[in-house]
Amino acid sequence: MADFDYVSREDATEPMKGPKPPLDLSHHFSRVTVARKESKIKEFYKYFQIPGIGNLAGGLPNASFFPYDTLEAQIAQPERFHPTPNDPNDPSELLASTTLKKNHDATAASHITVPHASASSNPLQKIDLTTALQYGTAQGYPPLYSFIRQFARENLHPNVPYLDGPEIILTNGNTDGFSKCLEALSNVWSEERDWIRERPGLLCEEFAYMNAVQAGVPRGLQVVPVKMDLEGMLPSGPGGLEDVLKNWDESKGMRPHLMYTVTIGQNPTSGTLSIQRRKDIYAVCSKYDVIIIEDEPYWYLQYPSATGKQAEARGQPLPAAQEPHKFDKSTGYEYLDSLVPSYLNFDPDGRVLRLDTFSKTVAPGCRLGWITGQPGIIERILRITETSTQQPSGFVQSMIAELLIGPQPAAAEFAKKSKADQLAFSGWQTDGWVRWLSGLRGTYERRMTRMADILEEGRFQLKQGTPIKSSESDWAVISKTKMYSFDWPRAGMFLWMHVHFETHPLWGKVEGPKLARALWIYLTTKPYLVLLAPGQMFSPTPEISEQEGWKYFRLCFAAVTEDEVDKSSKRTAGGFRDFWLIRDEKELDDIEGTVNAEEMREGLMDLGMNWAC
């Protein structure tokens, strides 16, 4: 942007004393967002609160006509799954069973009930259908909004540096959240009518979650990939962030002012961005006035054991531990303290919007999440929400609220319950929620270990050469062909496999992308029967797809049954082994059949659109 009157923190003349308010970043608002009015609603609440007022103004249906008298559920106890250690040097319980057995019935469930009307007079604790299934406020159902807001500010991100800290707004999941961020922060641009110099850009990782990227493309955003390594985006060096922004060619569009990034368990690479890397990238974003949209569905799934286990498996020395960042405030939980913190904690400018979701911690079908960021931007997203989704469904909001907050002892319905029921359940509360998250991390960390262990073994094609006769003994000559390599996932749900097609016997005779396509199909046939996600699905530009994408597969260890993790991993390794024995080009043609390469890529990308692959 050529003409914004943005003053960077460094240019300000007044001395720094204590936390400052976030920067005014309203020059980034889209024209549609600027045109939205502020709400004047608060000035009128007083009329609604007149005691005894007969409210004939609101256009609401009557709650006594809702056909649901209660909502109920059987829910897990927070201890259902066994956590793994926070300390990377403590392998003690890593391979324990996923579900707890001793002293605890892992299948035990509590019954929760959202009553039709709660007697609680505190709106932050009142969870009932009369309020939850009625029209509500766009920021979220008051009890749930209040719980999440406190959790976000005090437990997830207690060290946000700007004055008064961040605000939140509930969303219908992160796809909805990102869509609203785009609507708030980017203008629609089209080639046929707009100046190229006005074309907005969207920075993303070299391999990225395409549903998000695809949300920007129809709006005319130019997708601008930034080089990455196995950790994540590169702040500097060729193709790194500074390189891209500093050497930006304005004749190709506006220098990008928006970044979409997944920094923990990156999709698809499972990269996990260190604190130092965060600081370096943030500094570049601050310099070039870039807003960071941090999408973190996998944040809770950080695997401290991965580095050590990988080193152990490969007979390599354990890398030295990074010096942990010292923050003023603890999250209050050892487990949360052990996680790499959000960009929000390094964000004096208020240029980070963090997307959180219940999709991976409860279920994708919740369609429930929240955005955390500076109040000035959250307020604009609130306005967008009012004329689009209005609010997440009261069914999910009340059920999650009941699970987390529980029935309030003051409520009349609660008093009517049997003593046993009253004792049985009072909501997970923050302690229970964090315990649940650490248990979930445990289940996925064990799955990751199982898949990585099996694929570790299968990386090489071993071939016996002619034995060497010597006087003392026969020596077996084994040639080791590396078929693929990978880093053990440090987080998330995916293993990112780099396939070394250059070691295949047909390399040189057959083009790489064709080999890759044949391998993908080959793996879906008997007896291998595994479906992997090709790297083309995560290639934000056709160039990356053609040059790099085909060399990669993403393997998800989250979706299949635990048993199938082992079996599918073994069948995958077996498929590679056999595929590397193919020497006849004609055999490849038979495998490929009628599949068209471009169709395959597009079909799989569309799958990703629907399935958040």
Question: Please, which of residues 450-469 interact with a second copy by CB under 8 A?
Answer: none
Near a second copy by CB under 8 A: residue from 23, 132, 291, 381 = 132
**CA-wise closest residue to 265 among 488, 443, 86, 84:** 488
Question: Please, which of residues 433-452 interact with a second copy by CB under 8 A?
Answer: 436, 440, 443
Note whether 236 and 243 are within 8 A (CB).
yes
Q: Does 263 bind a second copy (CB under 8 A)?
A: no
Question: Please, which of residues 234-253 interact with a second copy by CB under 8 A?
Answer: none
Q: Which is nearer to a second copy, 47 or 327 (CB)?
A: 47
Q: Does 70 bind a second copy (CB under 8 A)?
A: yes
Between 97 and 126, how does the x/- string for binding to a second copy read (CB under 8 A)?
------------x-----------------
Separation CA 296–CA 354 (nearest Å): 7
Question: Please, which of residues 30-49 interact with a second copy by CB under 8 A?
Answer: 31-33, 35-37, 39-44, 47-48
What region, left, alpha or beta, does residue 332 occupy, with left being phi > 0 and alpha being psi -120 to 50 degrees?
left
Size of the site for a second copy (CB under 8 A): 131
Q: Closest approach of Cβ 75 to a second copy, in Å? A: 5
Q: Does 66 bind a second copy (CB under 8 A)?
A: yes
DSSP 8-state assignment for residue 38: P
Backbone angles phi, psi at 534, to 5 degrees: -70, 150
| C-alpha dihedral (529, 533, 535, 537), degrees to nearest 10 | 140
Near a second copy by CB under 8 A: residue from 152, 170, 202, 215 = 215
Q: Closest approach of Cβ 114 to a second copy, in Å? A: 9
**CA-wise closest residue to 255 among 200, 188, 194:** 200
Q: Which is nearer to a second copy, 148 or 612 (CB)?
A: 612
Q: Does 493 bind a second copy (CB under 8 A)?
A: yes
Note whether 344 and 261 are within 8 A (CB).
no
Between 272 and 311, how does the x/- string for binding to a second copy read (CB under 8 A)?
----------------------------------------
Q: Which is nearer to a second copy, 476 or 559 (CB)?
A: 559
Burial of residue 124, with CB atoms counted within 10 A of its CB: 0-12 exposed, 13-18 middle, 19 or more buried? middle
Residues 6+ apart with CB under 8 A from 119: 410, 411, 412, 413
Question: Please, which of residues 505-564 interact with a second copy by CB under 8 A?
Answer: 524, 529-533, 554-561, 564
Residues 6+ apart with CB under 8 A from 344: 157, 160, 166, 294, 352, 354, 372, 373
Q: Does 593 bind a second copy (CB under 8 A)?
A: no
Near a second copy by CB under 8 A: residue from 86, 389, 503, 541 = 389
Near a second copy by CB under 8 A: residue from 159, 187, 307, 338 = 187
Near a second copy by CB under 8 A: residue from 170, 259, 518, 612 = 612
Note whether 174 and 144 are within 8 A (CB).
no
Q: Which stretch binds a second copy (CB under 8 A): 17-25, 57-65, 84-92, 463-471?
A: 57-65
DSSP 8-state assignment for residue 154: I
Separation CA 129–CA 62 (nearest Å): 12
Q: Does 321 bind a second copy (CB under 8 A)?
A: no
The CB density around residue 107, as the number of other CB atoms within 10 Å, is 9
Amino acid in position 62 = N
Q: Closest approach of Cβ 138 to a second copy, in Å? A: 7
Q: Which stretch binds a second copy (CB under 8 A): 167-175, 345-353, 476-484, 498-506?
A: 167-175
Q: Which is nearer to a second copy, 162 or 484 (CB)?
A: 484
Upper half-sphere CA count for residue 199 (Cβ side, 13 Å): 23
Q: Does 135 bind a second copy (CB under 8 A)?
A: yes
Q: Which stretch binds a second copy (CB under 8 A): 229-237, 281-289, 398-406, 478-486?
A: 398-406
Q: Does 254 bind a second copy (CB under 8 A)?
A: no
Q: Which stretch binds a second copy (CB under 8 A): 235-243, 246-254, 382-390, 418-426?
A: 382-390
Residues 6+ apart with CB under 8 A from 477: 464, 465, 466, 467, 468
DSSP 8-state assignment for residue 536: G
Near a second copy by CB under 8 A: residue from 106, 188, 230, 597 = 188
Secondary structure class of 595 (helix, strand, coil): coil
Q: Which is nearer to a second copy, 291 or 532 (CB)?
A: 532
Report how far apart the first and last C-alpha atoms of the chain are (Å, whole number): 34
Q: Which stretch binds a second copy (CB under 8 A): 208-216, 248-256, 323-331, 370-378?
A: 208-216
**CA-wise closest residue to 26 among 255, 185, 221:** 185
Q: Closest approach of Cβ 327 to a second copy, in Å? A: 29
Near a second copy by CB under 8 A: residue from 146, 155, 159, 214 = 214
Near a second copy by CB under 8 A: residue from 365, 409, 465, 467 = 365
Extended beta strands in 301-368, E state = 352-357
CA dist list (Å): 288 to 95, 263, 277, 285 = 46, 20, 17, 5
